Structure 1
Amino acid sequence: MAAATVTPTSVTDLALAAKAAARKLAAVPSATKDAALLAIADALEARIPEILEANGRDLDAGRENGLSDALMDRLALTDERVRAIAAGTRAIAALPDPVGEVVDGGRLPNGLEVRKVRVPLGVVAVVYEARPNVTIDAAALALKSGNAVLLRGSSSAAHSNEVLARIATEAASDLPAGAIGLVGGDRAALTELAQLEGVVDLIIPRGGEGLKKAISAVAKVPVIYAAAGNCHVYVDESADLAAAERIIVNAKVQRPGTCNSAETLLVHSAVAAQFLPGAIAALRAEGVELRGDERVRAIDPSVSAASESDWGEEFLALILAVRVVDSVDEAIDHVNRYGSGHSEAIITNDRSAARAFQLGIDSACIYVNASTRFTDGGEFGMGAEIGNSTQKLHARGPIGLRELCSTRYLVEGDGHVRA
C-alpha cells in the first residue's frame, strides 16, 4: 500500500480517499503505525537540506509580503527545529496506542459483557496558519490514533508544507492509500472542506480569530477550535517576587508569537510598588513594550496608557498589558471577562488564593507558580499536539492522541434477548 501522493486534486476527491483509508487505518496494528512514524522521523532528518530550501522560499516571500516578526518566527524552520519535529514524531510512536483502550466496562446483572473502548474519529482535517511543523505533528498524531488526515496550511508556508507532506507520504508507504492528503486551493476550497458532512468527521482550525470566524461561518462538519490565546499572569500579594519576575519574563519573551505566551500581567496592589519597577525594567531589557492602567502609570509614568481593547488583545508580539488589582477575586473577574479560555497563571504562596484561582478561572489550563508557556502537547508528554482547544466539547487543552478518538460500546452476550 502507498500513502496518498501530494498531487493537485479536488477537495472532495481527497476527502473520499481519506474516508476509504480511515476504514482500513482503524484496524492497522500498532507496530505498523509506529514503524511508519519512525520512518517519517528518519526521512525528515535525512532530507533537512531539502526542507530548509523550501522553507527559505517561504521566508523570502514572507519578508517581501511584510509578515510580522511573530509570523516569521512561526514560519521559520532550522536544522534544530526540524530535528525537534522528528524527535516529537518518535515520541508519538513511543506512546501507547489509544485505539482499543478500554475506558470502562464490566458484566451487567443480566450477564451481558460491556466494554467502552476508544476508536478513531475517522477523517480529521486540520486547517492552520504559518506553522509548517503542524504538517508533521498533525499527520503523526492522526496516523498513530488510526485517523486519516487532511492538511490545509496557509499559502505563506506553501513550499514548506508541500515538501513536509510529501516526505511523510513517501515514508509512510505501508499505510493505506489516502491516509495523508494535502489540501490546496482558495477560500472556496476551504468552504468545500468544511461542508463535507459524512465524509470529514472533524475539522480543527489552528489559528487566530480570523480563521475561527471564517470556519464557523460555513462549517457543517463538527469543529474543535484551537484558537486564540489571550493568557494572563497574576502576581498575588504573597508571591515570591523574584520568581514572579522570572515567570512573567519567560511567559512573555521566550516565544512571543505563540498562543501560550502571556499578553496581560495583573499585579496585586499590595506588592505593585515593590514588584513593578524591577519587572518593567526586566521586560524592557528584552524589548517588551508595556501598556498599563492608571495605577501602573502612577508607579512608572513612562509606561504607555492601555486602551480598553488592549485587555482583550492577543498581541503575539513583544507587547504586554499591565493592570493593578486589589484582590485575587478581581484578578479572576478580569481574566474571565477578557481571557480566551487558554492558559492563566497565578504566582502565590497562599494556598487559598491558588485554590480560588484554580476554581474561579474558566480556562483550559491553570498554572500555580509556573509559566503559561508550558501549555503544549510536547511538554505535557503527548509527543506533540494539533492545537490547544479553548472550548469544552469534546476536547479541552492540548489535542493529542486520545483527543483524536471517540468511543464505542462493545457488548457480548450468550443468546440474550430483552424481556
Structure 2
Amino acid sequence: MEYLLPEELSCSHTITKDIIFLVGTAVVTRSDGRLALGRLGSLCEQLKELNTDGYEVILVTSGAVSAGRQRLRFRKLINSSLSDLQKPQVELDGKACAAVGQNGLMALYDTLFSQLDLTSAQLLVTDNDFRDPNFRLQLTDTVNQLLDFKVVPVLNENDAGCTVNKDSSGVFWDNDSLAALLAMELKADLLVLLSDVEGLYSGPPSDPKSKLIHTYVKEKHQAEVTFGDKSRMGRGGMTAKVKAALHAASSGIPVIIASGKGTDNIIKVLKGYRVGTLFHMDAHLWAPVKKTGAREMAVAARECSRRLQALSAQERKKILLDIADALEDNEELIKTENDADVAAAELAGYNKSLMARLAFKPGKISSLAKSIRVLADMEDPIGRILKKNEIADGLVLEKTSCPLGVLLIVFESRPDALVQIASLAVRSGNGLLLKGGKEAKRSNAIMHKVITSALPDRVGEKLIGLVTTREEIPDLLKLDTVIDLVIPRGSNKLVSQIKESTKIPVLGHADGICHVYVDKSADMDMAKRIVIDAKLDYPAACNAMETLLVHKDLVQNGGLKELVTELKLEGVDLFGGPRVSALQELDIPGTQTFHKEYSSPACTVEIVDDVQAAIEHINQHGSAHTDCVVAEDQKVAEAFLQQVDSAAVLHNASTRFCDGARFGLGAEVGISTSRIHARGPVGVEGLLTTKWILKGNGQIVDGDKGVLYSHKDLTVAS
C-alpha cells in the first residue's frame, strides 16, 4: 500500500543532505549465516542511485561477526581430527569472528560499489573512541570530506577491538545505537534502519494478529507493542532498533524502520511512500492517540443529523452559505494541499485520467462555492408533503419527505466530489461518512476540515466523518443497523467489491459505457460537434462517450469517414468492431470487447444496420448509464428514447449533459443505474425517503366498525 509520508519527509522538502542507512545482520546474511549477495547487490544499486541524484549517503553495516563465524567454523572443521569432532562444540569467540569477517564484508562492499563506479571507504569505531571529543570532531570532518568526493562512508562497530560490555549503557552498544549516534553527530536529515521485517509490528510479525505500525506514537504504542525474539544473527533485533529510533527521533531526526529485503524500499522511502514505521518527534501531532471506531463514527453522524433536521429551513440554508464562504476564504490553503497531492501523484506515475480527476483547475473552488449557493436557494426538501389524503372523517394522512439517515460514500480520485457530497448531505439532513482515494489524501483532509469547521456547534462537526484508511471500510460495511445507504463512486472493481461485502443498500453504477448513435438522418455538422464533445470535453468522466455507433448508410455517403477523421485529428485512439475494422481504408484496429470503458481519449466505433440494431447493441453491451441519438428523423429519435434501457437517454445533445449540476439538481452524489430508488444523477431527492404521518382526533379501528373510509385526495388543495 502506497501512502505519502508527512510533508516533512518528502524528498522535495528537507532531505537534501545526509541520509544514514543501518543494515542489520539479518539483512546482510541469509538464514544459514552466509552473506546475502543478492540483497547486498540491490542495496548498493539503490545507494548508487541516491548518490547520483545528489544525496549524501552514509552506510552503517552489521554482519562481520556472522560472516566471520561461518569462515572460522569451516576452518575449524577442516583442521579437526575425528576425536575433535566427537567433542561438544564450543561457541566461537565473537571478537575473533569479527576480525575474520570484517575483512571479507568490506571487500564485498568494495567490489559491489566498484562495479557501480562508486567508491566506498571503511571506518571502524568503538564505544571508547566516541568518549574522546577530538575523535568525534575528526570523524565528522573525515566523513564530510568523503561525502564531498561522492564517496560512500561505510561504518561498523569494531567488535574485534571494543572493550565495553555490550549490555551496559555506553555511548553506543551496537550498530543500531551507533547509527543513531552518527545521525545526531552529523545532523543527518534522515536515518533508515533496515531490518528483515517490514517495520515495527504491534506484536511478533509471525503472529497473524499483529499489525504493522505505520507511525509510532509513544503515548499510544509504548504500552501496546510486545517484542518477540531478538535478531537470529546479531545482538539487536527490533528492540534495539526501536530504542535507537526513539533516541534519534527525540533529537529531531526522522527515522524509518523498514525491510532491507525489498528491492526498492530505499528508493520508495526517498520518494515519499509510506514504507515501514516512521518515528518523529512530532508524530503525536499527526496520529491521534485515540481513534474513533467505525460504529462510533456512524452513530455520531446519526445523532448530529437528527440535530440538523431539528433546525429550521432557514438555518439549514445558512449552514450551506457558511460552507460556501469558508471554501472561498480558504482557497489558497486548499490549492496548496491539492498541488501537493498532484505532485505526489506525478511522482508515483499515476495515469493521465486519474491526474485529470485529481487536479483543481483555476476557478474550481469558486465554482464549487457557487453550486453550494444554488443548492441553498432551492426549496427546502425536508418535510415536504408529497401526498395528502383524508382517509376518513377527521383522519388525515400525509406522505412526507425525510432524510435517509446516515450515508457512506466511497469515492476515488476526485476531491471535488467531497464538497458536492457534503453539501448535498447537509441540504438533505443526512449524516455522512466519507472515504476518498489515497491519492487525494491532503485535498480531502483540508476540505473536510474547512467544511466541518463551518458547521454550528448545535449540529456538531461529527455530522460529516472522514474515513482515512482503507482498512476501516470492511468494518463500516458491516454496520447495516447504523448506515442506511452506501454510494460507491469509482471503478467497476470498487463497486463490485462493495456490493459483495455488505447488506447495506448500494446505490451507484459500476461502468460508464456511454454510446452515441449517429443515424443516417443526422445533421453531420451537429453529429461531429456532439461526438467530439461527448468524447473529449472530459474523457475521464463516467458520462463520456465510449462507443460510437453509425448507420450503415454513412459508410457509403462518407459520413463515417468524416467522423473518424475528426476524431483522429483530435487525437482520439480508435478501435473498431468487426464491421469497422474490416474496412481497410479506415485503418482502425479491432477491439476485443464492446464492454469497454476507456476513461481516456479513446473509443470504439461500429456500424449498425438501423436504429433498432443500435438499440439492441446498447441494451446488450452498454451499462445503462447515458446514451445519445443524433437524428433528424423524429420517429427514429422517439424509438431510441423509448426503447434504450438507460438511466439517461438524450436526443441531439452530448452525453456530458448527464450531470447533477447541469440537470439543475445543484450537485450530485453520483449517477445511479439502479432501478430501485434513485436513477440517473442523484441529487437531494435521491437522498430522501418518505414518512407517513397520520393525524386524527381519537379514532380507533375496532374491526372497522362504523368507520366510513373516504380516501379523499387533498394533495392539490394543500
Higher relative contact order (CA 8 A, sep 6+): 1
What TM-score, normalized to structure 1? 0.95
Paired residues in the alignment total 412
In the other structure, the counterpart of 1:323 is 606
SS at match of 2:542: coil
Distance in 1 of aligned mates of 2:630 and 2:663: 20
In the other structure, the counterpart of 2:380 is 97
Contact 1:336–1:361 (Cα < 8 Å) also in 2: yes
In the other structure, the counterpart of 2:668 is 385
**2:446 pairs with 1:160:** no
Distance in 1 of aligned mates of 2:576 and 2:381: 46
1:294, distance to aligned residue in structure 2 (A): 4.1
SS at match of 1:137: helix
Tell me the amino acid that sits aligned with residue 136 of structure 1: V
Describe how 1:12-411 pairs up with structure 2 within 5 A.
12-174=295-457, 176-177=459-460, 178-186=462-470, 188-273=471-556, 274-297=558-581, 299=583, 301-309=585-593, 311-411=594-694
Deviation sequence 1:310-337 (CA, Å, 0-9, x none): x101110000100000011110111011
Contact 2:580–2:588 (Cα < 8 Å) also in 1: no
SS at match of 1:301: helix
Distance in 2 of aligned mates of 1:378 and 1:239: 28
Contact 1:204–1:226 (Cα < 8 Å) also in 2: no
Which sits farther off after the overlay, 204-213 or 175-184?
175-184
1:350, distance to aligned residue in structure 2 (A): 1.4
SS at match of 1:222: coil
Tell me the amino acid that sits aligned with residue 308 of structure 1: Q
Higher Cα Rg, which structure = 2
Which sits farther off after the overlay, 276-285 or 147-156?
276-285
Contact 2:543–2:625 (Cα < 8 Å) also in 1: yes
**2:700 pairs with 1:417:** yes
Contact 1:385–1:398 (Cα < 8 Å) also in 2: yes
Distance in 2 of aligned mates of 1:111 and 1:352: 51
Which sits farther off after the overlay, 24-33 or 67-76?
24-33
Distance in 2 of aligned mates of 1:369 and 1:214: 36
**Percent identity among equivalent residues?**
38
1:302, distance to aligned residue in structure 2 (A): 4.6
Tell me the amino acid that sits aligned with residue 570 of structure 2: E
Contact 2:660–2:683 (Cα < 8 Å) also in 1: yes
Tell me the amino acid that sits aligned with residue 95 of structure 1: M
Contact 1:297–1:304 (Cα < 8 Å) also in 2: yes
Which sits farther off after the overlay, 32-41 or 160-169?
32-41
Distance in 1 of aligned mates of 2:431 and 2:555: 52
1:110, distance to aligned residue in structure 2 (A): 4.5
Q: Which runs of 4+ in 1 moved over 6 A?
A: none
Tell me the amino acid that sits aligned with residue 143 of structure 1: V
Deviation sequence 1:5-47 (CA, Å, 0-9, x none): x975322221111121122222221111111111111111111
Distance in 1 of aligned mates of 2:656 and 2:519: 19
Contact 1:36–1:174 (Cα < 8 Å) also in 2: no
Distance in 2 of aligned mates of 1:406 and 1:265: 38
Distance in 2 of aligned mates of 1:140 and 1:272: 48
Contact 1:137–1:385 (Cα < 8 Å) also in 2: yes
What TM-score, normalized to structure 2? 0.56
1:242, distance to aligned residue in structure 2 (A): 1.0
Contact 2:323–2:451 (Cα < 8 Å) also in 1: yes
Contact 2:432–2:465 (Cα < 8 Å) also in 1: yes
Contact 2:409–2:435 (Cα < 8 Å) also in 1: yes
Deviation sequence 1:349-393 (CA, Å, 0-9, x none): 111111111121111000011000001000011111010001111
Contact 1:293–1:306 (Cα < 8 Å) also in 2: yes
Distance in 2 of aligned mates of 1:258 and 1:357: 23
Distance in 1 of aligned mates of 2:592 and 2:643: 23
Deviation sequence 1:380-417 (CA, Å, 0-9, x none): 11111010001111110111011100001111112111
Contact 1:122–1:200 (Cα < 8 Å) also in 2: yes
SS at match of 2:386: strand
Contact 1:120–1:146 (Cα < 8 Å) also in 2: yes
Tell me the amino acid that sits aligned with residue 577 of structure 2: D
Deviation sequence 1:178-235 (CA, Å, 0-9, x none): 211111122x311111111111111110111011112012112121124321000000
Contact 1:237–1:268 (Cα < 8 Å) also in 2: yes
Distance in 1 of aligned mates of 2:512 and 2:587: 24
Distance in 2 of aligned mates of 1:44 and 1:144: 17
Contact 2:561–2:586 (Cα < 8 Å) also in 1: no
1:81, distance to aligned residue in structure 2 (A): 1.1
Tell me the amino acid that sits aligned with residue 639 of structure 2: A
Contact 1:226–1:388 (Cα < 8 Å) also in 2: yes
Distance in 1 of aligned mates of 2:622 and 2:445: 35
1:300, distance to aligned residue in structure 2 (A): 5.6
Q: 1:176 to 1:382 in 2, by over 3 A?
A: same
In the other structure, the counterpart of 1:3 is none
Contact 2:302–2:430 (Cα < 8 Å) also in 1: no
1:305, distance to aligned residue in structure 2 (A): 2.3
Distance in 1 of aligned mates of 2:649 and 2:513: 13
Distance in 1 of aligned mates of 2:314 and 2:338: 32
Deviation sequence 1:268-289 (CA, Å, 0-9, x none): 0012342122212211122100
Contact 1:36–1:173 (Cα < 8 Å) also in 2: yes
In the other structure, the counterpart of 1:10 is 293
Q: 1:235 to 1:211 in 2, by over 3 A?
A: same
1:175, distance to aligned residue in structure 2 (A): 5.3
1:308, distance to aligned residue in structure 2 (A): 3.4
SS at match of 2:694: strand
Contact 1:58–1:160 (Cα < 8 Å) also in 2: yes
RMSD of aligned alpha carbons? 1.5
Alignment gaps of 5+ in structure 2: 1-286, 705-718
